[in-house]
Structure 1
Amino acid sequence: MTTLKGEKIYLRALETSDLDFLYLLENDENGWEVSNTTTPFSKHILEQYLDNAHRDIYDVKQLRLVICTIIKEETIGFVDLFDFDPKHSRAGVGIIIFSEENKGKGYAFEALQLINQYAVKHLNIHQLYANITEDNQQSIKLFEKAGYTESGIKKDWIKSGKNYKNELFYQLIHDVH
């Protein structure tokens, strides 16, 4: 298995042809709570983002890869490395599978495995971390299955309507020598 190809899915760089999928995803208000988004994105802004997506992770401190199915060659989501810190060998990881019909099929788990292998092999990552609201049981199960452990809680961290949600901090630490 190569670093970016698994049994069911593969990860690839963003392409200009991803504009419509990116537009739908970034403007889906259901995801705004966890992405700290409060306003929609225009296609023009997303085109500019895609024009710069080739920039090196060491420069922009983030990397977004597209999750595609092998059999159908279908774009189903994204996996991101963010807040990349080469000095301390760590990065945050986020993942989204866009449609309900593609959830629960193991795609997200495989994407986490692939991004983990990539991060260790190519970026010399010592740890990956994820921030998950405590009510997001699907993500908690996913990250725990992928070997992440809960190591902290940020109380009242995410404002949701008139209420606040706690955010759990998960880490996957590698013994890199």
Structure 2
Amino acid sequence: MLSNETVSLRAVEPSDLDMLYMLENDTDAAECSFGTAPLSRHMLWQYIENYSADIHAGGEIRFIIVENASGQSVGTIDISDYNTRDRHGFVGIAILPESRRRGLGYAALKLLCSYASETIGAHSLAAQVSADNEASRRMFAKAGFHTCGSLRSWIRRGKHYADVLLYQILFQ
């Protein structure tokens, strides 16, 4: 388990099914994410059962974010599309609505960056952040990520499109 004074990051467990279901189907967060279809409990259960935490084999690692003060699971953070040759991947983070705007995502992101650089030897991480998601933009900037590009009209928001900003942090 990875830990700092604010949060701990641990492996996904079967007992996380309900929290994952809420996160993956949160309509407010869907405005900030890139998925379109709701996920069933059955699909999430299969994901948990078949999940491999070997980032070098599967290109992904997902952690459950636990708030240390309460001991409650409050979200997920992951590295996906990890390229073992070039040692880079993408960060994804989701926090339960009642736990947002309390610094937990930032604390988890800092911990994940330490893990990525020190444990798996990542050279860089990147994130795609909706240009209208001010909270995420501030969090990534505070954690040392820099804006390195944009994708215009990338996410559909009803009848219009929103831009996506690319953030990146280099470790070595």
- TM-score bucket of the superposed structures, by smaller chain: over 0.9
The residue number in structure 2 matching 1:9 is 7
Residue 105 of structure 1 and its aligned partner are, at CA, apart by 2.0
Which amino acid in the other structure matches residue 115 of structure 1? L
The residue number in structure 2 matching 1:118 is 115
The Cα RMSD (Å) is 1.4
1: CA distance, partners of 2:32 / 2:107? 22
1: CA distance, partners of 2:69 / 2:44? 28
Secondary structure at 1:35's aligned position in 2?
coil
The residue number in structure 2 matching 1:48 is 46
**Aligned residue-pair number:** 172
Aligned equivalent of 2:104, options 102, 107, 118: 107
Q: How does 1:21-60 map to 2 (within 5 A)?
A: 21-60=19-58
Residue 103 of structure 1 and its aligned partner are, at CA, apart by 2.1
The residue number in structure 2 matching 1:167 is 164
Q: Deviations over 1:29-58 (max 9, x none)?
A: 223344332222111111110002234112
Q: How does 1:58-97 map to 2 (within 5 A)?
A: 58-97=56-95
Q: 1:103 to 1:36 in 2, by over 3 A?
A: closer
The answer to whether 1:154 aligns with 2:161 is: no
Aligned-pair identity in percent equals 37
2: CA distance, partners of 1:39 / 1:94? 17
Which amino acid in the other structure matches residue 59 of structure 2? K
Residue 157 of structure 1 and its aligned partner are, at CA, apart by 0.9
Which amino acid in the other structure matches residue 97 of structure 2? S
2: CA distance, partners of 1:75 / 1:168? 28
Residue 108 of structure 1 and its aligned partner are, at CA, apart by 1.1
Q: 1:55 to 1:111 in 2, by over 3 A?
A: closer
5+ residue gaps, structure 2, are none
Residue 159 of structure 1 and its aligned partner are, at CA, apart by 1.2
Q: Deviations over 1:90-114 (max 9, x none)?
A: 01001121123x2222211110111
Which amino acid in the other structure matches residue 77 of structure 2? V
2: CA distance, partners of 1:120 / 1:157? 29
Which amino acid in the other structure matches residue 75 of structure 1? S
Secondary structure at 1:123's aligned position in 2?
coil
5+ residue gaps, structure 1, are none
Q: 1:103 to 1:28 in 2, by over 3 A?
A: closer
Which amino acid in the other structure matches residue 160 of structure 2? N
The residue number in structure 1 matching 2:18 is 20
Secondary structure at 2:122's aligned position in 1?
coil
2: CA distance, partners of 1:136 / 1:71? 27
CA contact (8 A) 2:65 2:76 kept: yes
